[in-house]
Homo-oligomer: A and B are copies of this chain.
């Protein structure tokens, strides 16, 4: 057996998330179906760096899997890329050590979150950015972002009901960019890991700050509260992109 690592991109619109499940089409299921075909019908299991929810996209999701033969890498990449459905692309394939694990060995993840602020709403972005039609003072958001940097207990920014005990994470980067036309925001978050729905709750909170309904200096108090109810709402999944995973 040879262990392969692959970087894949997918448009999450028509997937019920990354992880295989009884109901709905998933990324894992489609990639495994393709690998099974390539592997003469024998099943191949893939492991992702983490799940993504329904509607969430990936530019640089990382997976690993074991495959019986060592094949030329570009041929392997091309076969996977062209045989998976059109909403999945395979950017690169490499051979890794037998003990490499796409989930357990993650050192750093980067997420982007796109928010369309155009009026009227562009029909072309309806599946690729969350829409925010209310007034926004981007300076208020930029004042709040640095308070997220560093190591904190992010319980307040984590959806309830998860099984993860340790909610301490470190954020290295929290930026806001605006496109040239002024119609779309991109939040960029880079950290050693993120909790369930954490980016979406961060963005939901930051938009409330930009809209003046939560004070710009309230991030420290929200973190301190360790209570999901202290933060803002959860932003819609279509704005979220898993951009990069580092090992």
Could you tell me which A residues sit within 8 Å of B by CB distance?
A: 9-11, 57, 77, 81, 86-91, 120-124, 126, 128
In contact, B120 and A128 (Cβ under 8 angstroms): no
In contact, A120 and B81 (Cβ under 8 angstroms): yes
- A124 to B9 Cα, complex, angstroms: 9
**Smallest beta-carbon distance A237→chain B, Å:** 15
Which residue of chain B lies nearest to A77 when distances are taken between CB atoms in the complex? B120
**Smallest beta-carbon distance A186→chain B, Å:** 14
In contact, A11 and B120 (Cβ under 8 angstroms): no
Residues of B within 8 A of A11 (CB): 123-124, 126
In contact, B123 and A86 (Cβ under 8 angstroms): yes
- A55 to B170 Cα, complex, angstroms: 45
In contact, A90 and B120 (Cβ under 8 angstroms): yes
- A124 to B121 Cα, complex, angstroms: 18
Which residue of chain B lies nearest to A91 when distances are taken between CB atoms in the complex? B120
In contact, B123 and A89 (Cβ under 8 angstroms): yes
In contact, B126 and A86 (Cβ under 8 angstroms): yes
Shortest Cβ-Cβ A-B pairs, 3 listed: A11-B123, A89-B120, A87-B123
